A and B are shown apart, each in its own frame.
Chain A
Amino acid sequence: MAISKGSRWLLLAGTALAMVACGDEEPGGNDTPNPPSGVTVNATSAVAARVTFSPVSGATGYLVERAEGATGGTFAQVGTPTAPPFDDTGLSPQTTYRYRVTTVSGGKQSSASAEATVTTPDRALTVINADITTSTTWTADKKYRLTGFIHVANGATLTIEPGTIIEGDFNTVGSSLFVLRGARLVANGTAAKPIVFTSSQPVGQRKAGDWGGLILVGNGIINRTAPVILEGTGTNTTTNPAIDYAGGTNNADASGSLQYVRVEFAGYATAPDAELNSFTFAAVGSGTTLDYLQALNGLDDSFEWFGGAVDAKHLVSYNAGDDHFDISEGYVGRIQFAIAYQQIQVVPRPAAGNVSQDPQGIENDGCSGANCTAGQNSQPYNVPLIANFTLVGPPAGVNTQGSGLVGAMLRRGTGGFYVNGHIARWGRAALSLRDQPTLDRITGGQLLVNNLLLTENAVTFQPQTGATIQGTVDATANAIDANAATTASVFTTFPTAPTGPASFDWTPSAASAARTGGLATFTGALATKAGTVVTGTAYRGAADPNGPKWWQGWTNYAEN
């Protein structure tokens, strides 16, 4: 509905006339106060406004009400100042609000004042081009642009308010945010106001690899001996110095708290084969909170853990350039409620790097590379607990190639507990239990795969073809259910071509196989591992048939 400027004035004038008429009709008695006059409102930032008005004599207080939009909307009380002015906060940028004020005198209220209108401006751009070495707060009224490799260091805490937007600068190599060992990031958004890390490119022109990513480095334990340099760092000794994340000793270490945080279009390759992940948790300890996190269209992995013990819940990965969940080097934390969904092969920013040759849903390695002193048997073993996960691979015809496309690739000596999950649509296999040390973890009781629903995967277990050892477990004994149901039928709404975050409803459909078959009660090593953090469920997959749709409201689904 378009209203011309002129007609808006007419409307306002009309409203004022009506109010004057109203006053005439119902003249205030001696004990009914007059409403304040001269009500004006000015935006003080992208998310705050100041309401001023002339005081009314004898007033004991005022009620300030706000409605969103130039017209319509519902007025709701936002403050009760005793005197002008009133500062309103929590607004959205580039939004029009109307305010009105009512005088309170004794027990009586005046009628509402004339309305005043304000449109908040866009967030002011703040360029961050230097390391953060003292504790700092980023507020939602600004848009922060990471220009270059930014490190939170020196034990500082960076606090980010809900609703804050942080952009990675497209024009500066690998712009990214590193929270170094000893420093903390407190980024607690809300479902209504998530904290968003995204590309500085306009919507519609964003591509995987536009910027670097979010990296937390803690003092937790990894199974490689120091020094081990974080992939993507050390490309430039002054601007991107090497970060050694090995040698930590405290798996209870705290790196802060991330809640309702999205990381979008990240993954710039600072060097060949050294793309940054959307979220990297390197040796992050269990004193850290990770809850409600989404990675969208990153060029490398969506979530990658290197050792450490941090627990995580409510993770969403929509379209990854490589793996959705990549866990290695002795991670011993617990993850519950995780969704991975691949619809397209992401399109990288030119020269940022290429998509992976072996994308998988979960890709867990025990230990690989230099400084694994006992090779793939290096300790501590990589033993995550992943419960209630939904891993949906790319549709047929996307990403057909000679490698990758396994729902859960467990290899190089990894252990772990993988329960109550749903693995769907993976072109090579649902599961790969690869390499002798990995099979040794099964016999050693550190690797357990059970109560899984499988749909539309090429096979359950990847067969052995060359010299690389592939193993299996007994599907029946482990309740691995290769179900004939279609993947789409498992969910309430499963779009063939999603258009936005609202097009997904991961809740099991009425007749869904995911509603049952879960391991409701954990026992033995699994129960010990789960502790109080993860509990068994009767359902399989990331969505409780009767629970809240936890992935809705704060996530995004955009291809560019």
Chain B
Amino acid sequence: MTKRLWWFGLIAGMSLVGPGSTLAQTGVGRIVGRVVDAAQGVPIGGAVVELVGPPTAFRTTTGVDGRFAFQGVPAGEVGLRVRMIGYGPKLVTGVRVPSDGSVTQDVSLNAESIQLEELNVTAEAERGSVADALNEQQNSVGVVNAVTAEEIARSPDGDAAAAVQRVSGVSVQDGKFVFVRGLGERYTTTSLNGARIPSPEPERKVVPLDLFPSGLLQSITTAKTFTPDLPGDFSGAQVNIRTREFPANRQITISTSTGFNSRATSKDILRAPNAGLEWLALGASDRSLPGLVRAAGRFEPAPSQAEVNAMVGSFRNAWSAPSRSGLPNSSLSVSVGGSDRIAGQGFGYLFSGTYSYGQEIQASQRRAYALPLAAPGSVAEIDRFEGSTGRASVLLGGLVNLSTNIGSGTRISVNTSYNRTADNDARREVGESENLGGRFQIDRLRYVERTVLSAQVQGEHRLGTRHLIDWSASRSAVGRHEPDRSEIVYSLDVDPQGNPRPPAWFSASNEGAVRTFADLDETATETAANYSVMLGRPGRPHQIRVGGLYRRADRDADNRSYSIAATLPDAARELAPEAIFDGRFSGPGQSYFRVTPLSAGGTYTAQDRQVAGYLMVQYFLSSRLELLGGARVERSEVDVTTEPTVGAPVSTRPRYTDVLPSLALNFRMTETQTLRLAATQTLSRPEYRELSPVQYREVIGGENILGNADLKRALIRNFDARWEWYPNPAEVISVGVFAKRFSDPIERVYLATSGTRIVSFLNAESGANYGVEVEARKNLRFLSARLVNFSGHFNGTVMRSRIRIGDGLSSRLNDERAMVGQAPYVINTGLTYTSGSGAFSATALYNVVGRRIVNAAEAPLPDVYEKPRHLVDLAVRFPVLAGLRGKFDVKNLFDAAFEIEQGTVTREYYRTGRVLSVGLSWQP
């Protein structure tokens, strides 16, 4: 009931600020737009824009962001003339001004060295050249790939992780983590509107991109080469997520969709018990660590039996999940944006909110381990468990973006966004343990909440035509809360004669019943300022750019785990877990239970302070040949303090100072072809927890991890060459090669021990990574005129890597192997049909990642590979009524299985089902 009210409230609220508030006079409309440099895509401030046609009194100057607007223009066709010193003038004709409405017309200007005479183009043609000019891939100084909001809108991709995997050379692991060019997640960094986002992952330095709903995105760019104005701690790519910008016209969009999963919706799936306002991703506080248990600390002195009984009773009595019919998925998003004058000051604004709820499944789930046999490389399966996982997921987010121009040379903008996810999982699996020599049933309930909050103020000041100062101050906070994970094990034992006994709680084991509470919070403050001066002419705009950055990040990770064991008679152990823990065995005077804190070590704090400065020169050797050189100095001071189970905290305080040079050559062979060459040096610093020489069991993977205080940061030399051809607007064909050499790359390795294996980290001796990337995006009319409405895109990367581990304690079969995560190929392709008016479109997408190592094995086992998964998605967009558009998506059309293998053993297997969804979007 409350849920429904909330929906109504939201929609009603939106409609108040909805349509009808346009302050237009009858018979007049608005023209808004932007003037940009045709070669660089940068906005041109101070350009003169005038209307050509019957009304001639309209004349204005563009702001620092290149934007302009005319109000009260009589409806009908007009022309726009744009002039700017250093640029060739342009006349755009056939701009249709609607009555009571507005039209957007962006204009690009060519440098005067290229074009002197006034160019006369139609409004339609100009849209293409502006698209070109704004093509970040085409205009960047480095090697960049981008996915834009339009492309995302034509795909069924619901979050940034799904969207970014359409980029060439990108693969996504676990639906969250980005691997670029076969390099592990540690070599990719993520920014939001240019400011680094801290990682909410306790053991990895990575931002899970599934946190960002695609409805809030303007673009995702992946910069694959380093330029000195970027932080230098990446090698694969720097992923920048840009949130949506305000539209030129006031716009309200409301979208809603509902979806059906072939394996979850209306099927029996495990549904974890709810707690709190879980449908709003606010379920953590109702699952927090009982105060009684927290107060007991390390259990020294040991609590009395009465206290232990109270502790047992204080845990939420939820251990297993009922199987119930799955609900359909649903989503709603609302966005309001525009550009208006308030108190005489022009403001651009965008408010956007999105919410989605889904029930997912990992069906036919199977996991096992491999046991080496005598013959080299041959393995047998052990520890095979089968079951399924049901999951309820909530993803919600919102943003408020505001910007305004002050005078003609200053622009201030504020971007804030907040995203929140909650995943409530229930898993049941049954299988045999080789070590314990018996069969077991394991129930796990897990609830994970993650948040990202980012607030940013940015300013841009143009001083005259040659000087630009921009600055930004950002504060971001991420959190990952995994409160009250519960695991309970039932023994499916047999009597001495081999006859089955009733399932009974495995009560004596330290793994028989475990509750885990993990919290991670990190906040980061980043301030950056850049100054650039243009020394050349618009055609050869030599530029010197200097800047600096200060960043401080503080992390607080807390991880506590408790084992509940008991000595209970068989008949009691055969009860359901919720009965065993309902208090009947923890009453006064009873002494069945024992609570033990399991080893800590996952509790730590970290602080990272970073200062960076750079100088970079962009010099045009000729109008076609651009040289970009410079260097960045980065100093990083990291303090990690880990709390061992017993004893004093252990601190590691590495300090790094590095100079990172970069040199790039861009050769504009023709107007539409560019050749790029780049040689850069970047680095990769250890993740916080990797530095801490205290052993602990990781929260997520459950492996025993031992950090290494002696880890050095890795240095990477990157070489890139790429040829790009832009035959027509929105078309591209490019071929690139890349090669990287690593010194001291950080590798995750296994240590063989006399007991449980340990995962640790070391600096491998060396590594290399190289490959070829091909990208094509083309209208298919070149094949046949009848295919004019079809366009196809393809990107593929073929790559190889080698890593040489060298001396150390690592257990390994071969000293040399491919890097973990490197697939031999990544292919993305798609075909889109767009009707002449553009109102109807249909897209088919295909994505496949070659067989890749997910874990380097310990000797003598073969490496662990993820098998290629052929993912086919369909998306249809169609008009319904005026202002109302419909969509129909199919995700994972063939229900491709996820499969990890090690030799002949299937280590992991599941299917997620295909998802059909329909939606409506209303834009009055």
Question: Residues of A with Cβ closer than 8 Å to B?
Answer: 171-173, 224-225, 227-232, 234-238, 242, 244-246, 269-274, 282, 306, 329, 345, 348, 350-351, 353-355, 357-358, 369-377, 399-404, 411, 428-429, 432, 434, 437, 458-459, 462-468
Contacts and interface: CB of A to CB of B under 8 A. Distances in A.
Contacts of B706: 234-235, 271
A348 B752 contact: no
A3 B36 CA distance: 108
Contacts of B596: 348, 350-351, 354
A403 B374 contact: no
Contact of B751 (A227, A400, A434, A466): A227
24 contacts: A230-B754, A231-B753, A234-B706, A235-B644, A235-B694, A236-B650, A237-B693, A238-B693, A242-B751, A242-B809, A272-B697, A273-B704, A274-B755, A345-B567, A350-B302, A353-B599, A354-B509, A370-B811, A376-B372, A401-B508, A402-B438, A464-B498, A466-B432, A467-B382
Nearest to A467: B432
Contact of B491 (A173, A245, A270, A401): A401
B570 interface: yes
A271 B438 contact: no
Interface string B592-612: 000011110100000000000
Contacts of A271: 599, 601, 695-697, 704, 706, 756, 758
A404 B861 CA distance: 27
A269 B298 CA distance: 14
A371 B599 contact: no
A49 to B, nearest CB: 39
Contacts of B497: 459, 463
Interface residues of B, number: 76
B798 interface: no
B647 interface: yes
A411 B440 CA distance: 20
Given A237-B710, A269-B599, A402-B491, A371 B859 contact: yes
B695 A225 contact: no
Nearest to A371: B752
A400 B300 contact: no
Nearest to B298: A351
A92 B435 CA distance: 47
Closest 8 CB pairs of A and B: A402-B491, A354-B510, A231-B755, A370-B752, A370-B858, A350-B299, A403-B436, A375-B372
Contacts of B696: 271-272
Nearest to A245: B754
A231 B756 contact: yes
Contacts of A411: 437
Contacts of A465: 438-439, 494, 498
B373 interface: yes
A235 B697 CA distance: 12
A558 to B, nearest CB: 18
Identify which of A224, A373, A400 gathers the most chain B CB atoms within 10 Å of its CB: A400
Contacts of B710: 237
B709 A229 contact: no
B504 interface: yes
Interface string B609-641: 000000000000000000000000000000000
B597 A350 contact: yes
A400 B570 contact: yes
B437 A432 contact: yes
A357 B506 contact: yes
Nearest to B432: A466
B856 to A, nearest CB: 12
Interface in B856-886: 858-861
Contacts of B858: 369-371
Contact of A468 (B437, B599, B809): B437
B488 interface: no
B437 A403 contact: yes
Interface of B: 298-300, 302, 371-374, 376, 382, 384, 432-440, 491-494, 496-498, 504, 506-512, 563, 565, 567, 570, 596-599, 601, 644-647, 650, 693-697, 704, 706, 708-710, 750-758, 760, 809-811, 858-861
A463 B494 contact: yes
A400 B504 CA distance: 11
A146 B568 CA distance: 38
B860 A229 contact: no
Given A173-B645, A231-B753, A375 B860 contact: yes
B434 A468 contact: yes
A401 B511 CA distance: 12
B695 A270 contact: yes
Nearest to B706: A234
A176 to B, nearest CB: 13
Contacts of B601: 271
B770 to A, nearest CB: 30
Contact of A228 (B298, B371, B693, B754): B754
Contacts of A237: 693, 708-710
A119 to B, nearest CB: 34
A358 B758 contact: no
Nearest to A411: B437
Nearest to A369: B752
A357 B599 contact: no
A232 B300 CA distance: 22
A371 B567 CA distance: 38
B381 to A, nearest CB: 8
Contacts of A306: 754
Contacts of B570: 400
A229 B809 CA distance: 8
B691 to A, nearest CB: 11
A223 B829 CA distance: 51
Contacts of B439: 465-466
Nearest to A236: B693
Given A173-B647, A272-B598, A351 B508 contact: no
A26 to B, nearest CB: 65
A371 B299 contact: no
A373 B860 contact: yes
B603 to A, nearest CB: 13
Contacts of A235: 644, 693-695, 706
A284 to B, nearest CB: 13
A432 B438 CA distance: 13
Given A173-B645, A468-B434, A231 B859 contact: no
A371 B810 CA distance: 10
Nearest to B809: A227
B298 A350 contact: yes
A260 B391 CA distance: 59
A244 B492 CA distance: 38
A377 B510 CA distance: 31
Nearest to B646: A173
B508 A229 contact: no
Contacts of A172: 646-647
B750 A370 contact: yes
A370 B809 contact: no
Contact of B752 (A224, A238, A270): A224
Given A371-B811, A372-B372, 4 more contacts: A235-B644, A403-B437, A462-B437, A463-B496
Nearest to B494: A465
A384 to B, nearest CB: 16
Contacts of B373: 375, 377
Contacts of A464: 498
Nearest to A429: B496
Contacts of A238: 693, 709
Given A242-B751, A270-B695, A466-B432, A173 B504 contact: no
A518 B408 CA distance: 105
A499 to B, nearest CB: 22
B438 A403 contact: yes
Contacts of B492: 402
Contact of A227 (B302, B435, B597, B752): B752
Nearest to B297: A351
A372 B437 contact: no
A276 to B, nearest CB: 10
